[in-house]
Amino acid sequence: MEGKDLARAVWRHRLLVVVIVAITLSAVGVGLWRAPKTYESTATVAVTASPRASGTQEDLDALRGSVAELANSQAMLREITSRLDVDRTTEELRQSIEAKWVQGTVLVQITVSDSDPRVAAAIANTAAAALPTVDPSRGAFTYTRSNPAEPAATFSSPSLLLAGVVGVVLAVVLGICGALLRDRKVVEVGDADEVEELADAPVLALMSPPRDPTTLPALYPGTAAADVFRELRIALEAEASREPVTRVVVTGVRSSDVHVWLGANLAVSLAHVNRRVLLVDGRIGDQEGGPVAAGPDTAGLYDVLVGEDLDAALSPGPVADLSVLPAGQWGGEPAETLLETRFAPAMEEAARRFDIIIVLAPPLDVCDDARVMAAGGSMLLAVPDAGVAQGELQRHLARVRAIGVRLLGVVLVTKRTDRVAS
| CATH code, domain carrying 305 | 3.40.50.300
Quick check: helix, strand or coil at residue 273?
coil
Highest mean pLDDT range out of 59-73, 74-88, 107-121, 241-255? Answer: 107-121
Residue 322 lies in a domain: yes
The rounded distance, in Å, linking the Cα atoms of 161 and 235 is 60
Same domain, 18 and 74: no
Same domain, 90 and 206: no
Same domain, 348 and 201: yes
Strands (E), 341-417: 356-360, 378-384, 406-413
Q: What is the mean pLDDT of residues 97-123?
A: 92
Residue 29 lies in a domain: yes
Same domain, 213 and 259: yes
At residue 354, the pLDDT reads 92
50 Cβ contact partners less than 8 Å away, ≥ 6 residues apart: 139, 140, 141, 142
Crossing angle of helices 74-83 and 117-130, in 10° steps, is: 120
Residue 419 lies in a domain: no
Neighbours of 251 (CB within 10 A): 29
Element (DSSP H or E) covering residue 81? helix 74-83
Q: Tell whether pTM > 0.75.
A: no
Same domain, 223 and 243: yes
Same domain, 258 and 171: no
At residue 126, the pLDDT reads 92
Mean pLDDT across the chain, nearest whole number?
Answer: 83
Integer CA distances (angstroms), 415 to 234, 385, 387, 392, 422, in order:
22, 8, 13, 21, 18
The rounded distance, in Å, linking the Cα atoms of 261 and 225 is 13
Kindly indicate the confidence band of residue 293, based on its pLDDT and cuts at 50, 70 and 90.
Answer: very low
Query: Could you tell me if 102 and 108 are in contact, meaning their C-beta atoms sit under 8 angstroms apart?
Result: yes
The upper half-sphere exposure of residue 171, i.e. CA atoms within 13 Å in the direction of its Cβ, equals: 20
**Mind listing the pLDDT tens digit for each residue in 295-335?**
556 788 888 888 888 888 888 989 999 999 988 877 767 77
Residue 97 lies in a domain: yes
pLDDT: is 18 or 397 the higher one? 18
Same domain, 30 and 83: no
**Mind listing the pLDDT tens digit for each residue in 331-384?**
767 778 888 889 889 989 988 989 999 999 888 888 888 888 888 778 888 887
Residue 421 lies in a domain: no
The upper half-sphere exposure of residue 53, i.e. CA atoms within 13 Å in the direction of its Cβ, equals: 19
At residue 208, the pLDDT reads 82
Residue 152 lies in a domain: no
Say which DSSP state 340 is in. Answer: I
Q: Backbone phi, then psi, for 352, in 5-degree steps?
A: -75, -15
At residue 44, the pLDDT reads 94
The rounded distance, in Å, linking the Cα atoms of 239 and 419 is 17
Residue 178 lies in a domain: yes
Strand 107-114 and strand 39-49: the pairing is antiparallel
Kindly indicate the confidence band of residue 414, based on its pLDDT and cuts at 50, 70 and 90.
Answer: confident
Same domain, 63 and 169: no
At residue 190, the pLDDT reads 60
Query: Could you tell me if 340 and 231 are in contact, meaning their C-beta atoms sit under 8 angstroms apart?
Result: no
CATH of the domain at 122: 3.30.70.1130
Report the share of the chain in percent with pLDDT over 70.
Answer: 90
Same domain, 175 and 237: no
Domain boundaries, position 205: 189-413
286 Cβ contact partners less than 8 Å away, ≥ 6 residues apart: 330, 335
User: Domains in the chain: how many in total?
Assistant: 3
Kindly indicate the confidence band of residue 4, based on its pLDDT and cuts at 50, 70 and 90.
Answer: low
Same domain, 66 and 13: no
pLDDT: is 166 or 57 the higher one? 166
Name residue 257's beta-bridge partners: none
At residue 290, the pLDDT reads 38
pLDDT: is 338 or 195 the higher one? 338
At residue 420, the pLDDT reads 44
Q: What order do you get walking across the sheet with 107-114 strand by strand?
A: 97-101, 107-114, 39-49, 141-147
Same domain, 290 and 383: yes
Same domain, 29 and 43: no
Is 278's pLDDT higher than 90? yes
Query: Could you tell me if 267 and 322 are in contact, meaning their C-beta atoms sit under 8 angstroms apart?
Result: yes
Residue 382 lies in a domain: yes
Strand 97-101 and strand 107-114: the pairing is antiparallel
At residue 289, the pLDDT reads 38
Strand 141-147 and strand 39-49: the pairing is antiparallel
Is 22's pLDDT higher than 60? yes
